[in-house]
Amino acid sequence: MKIVVLGSGTSHGIPVVACSCRVCASPDSRDKRMRSSVYVEGEAGEKLLIDAGPEFRLQALKAGIDSVDCLLLTHAHADHIHGLDDLRPFTCVKPVPVYGNRQTISEMRERFSYIFTTTQEGGGKPRFLPKIADAPIQIGCLTITPVPAKHGTLDILGWEISETTAGEKKPQANGLKSFVYLTDVNKIPPASMALLNNGNSAMRRVVIIGGLRATVHPTHFNFDEAMSAALALKPNAVYLTHICHSHSHAEIDEVCRIFREKYQATHGKTSIAKFENMEIRPAQDGLELTL
């Protein structure tokens, strides 16, 4: 499984329009952050997109994305769905399924009503198959599980993508590879934590989780909250995403280093067997991971 971070920034993106702060003016390319989205390719050629923000066209061109088997939505805020029309070329041959919770699909249909009516043909419009995600989805060797979470008072979805070896049939709980994506989250319900922790203890797992900034926020995890929640999922690697312009990439790297030291001192080196070799870092646009 290949995971590509298309964007790792918050709703404004970085640099922020009309802002001249030190991070927005930073010459470090890691501090240029488009709106949050990830692309996943399975071993058997499956192609999945999670969220499509306003820069999706640029992200797709940069990453060389030429098709998607489905679009997975976390929620319907503008920075996560306002690139929907740019998926139009992918829908020429056949419609693309779009999965989300009931509220997200309803808002998508309302906000992009021209897609789902007989009007506004013009130069064409994308063809989508909206689907309520209330159970695992199977695409090739990938099992895609919706993970209910909270973004303030809003019910949203995280996603777990588990992969079995191509050609083999295995239950999802026994999959050997797992990617968990949780952005714009400030609470993961106990039932969702139990769902995610129901896998094989030997599973190789990457967690990309939203950590907005160092200080507390009413609708997003801060850095420490995000890392603590991710470590409860027993991952091999943790990356922070949906990052604002309060901190440079280098500064967040240091925050992660200090968190690791404190976590080890508090929990002991044996609390997570894989902790010694675990990556805990900020994501960056263009980051590619392989499971």
Q: Which residues share a beta bridge with 207?
A: 180, 238
Ranges of the chain whose pLDDT falls below 50: 167, 170-174
And the tokens for 172? Answer: 């999802």
Q: Are 163 and 194 in contact (CB under 8 A)?
A: no
**Predicted local distance difference test score (pLDDT) of residue 276:** 74
Q: Residues 6 or more apart from 229 whose CB is under 8 A from it?
A: 182, 185, 188, 209, 221
- The CATH number assigned to the domain with range 2-290 reads 3.60.15.10
Query: Three-state DSSP class for 284?
Result: coil
Nearest C-alpha neighbor of 37 from the set 184, 224, 144: 184
Burial 198-209 (b: 16+ CB within 10 A, else e): ebbeebbbbbbb
Q: Which residues share a beta bridge with 48?
A: 40, 70
**Predicted local distance difference test score (pLDDT) of residue 198:** 85
Whole-structure pTM value = 0.95
pLDDT digits (tens, 9 = 90+) for 103-137: 999 999 999 999 998 776 666 899 999 999 999 99
**Predicted local distance difference test score (pLDDT) of residue 174:** 46
pLDDT digits (tens, 9 = 90+) for 1-15: 999 999 999 999 999
**Predicted local distance difference test score (pLDDT) of residue 120:** 62
C-alpha–C-alpha distance, residues 277 and 176, integer Å: 18
Query: Three-state DSSP class for 39?
Result: strand
**Predicted local distance difference test score (pLDDT) of residue 20:** 97
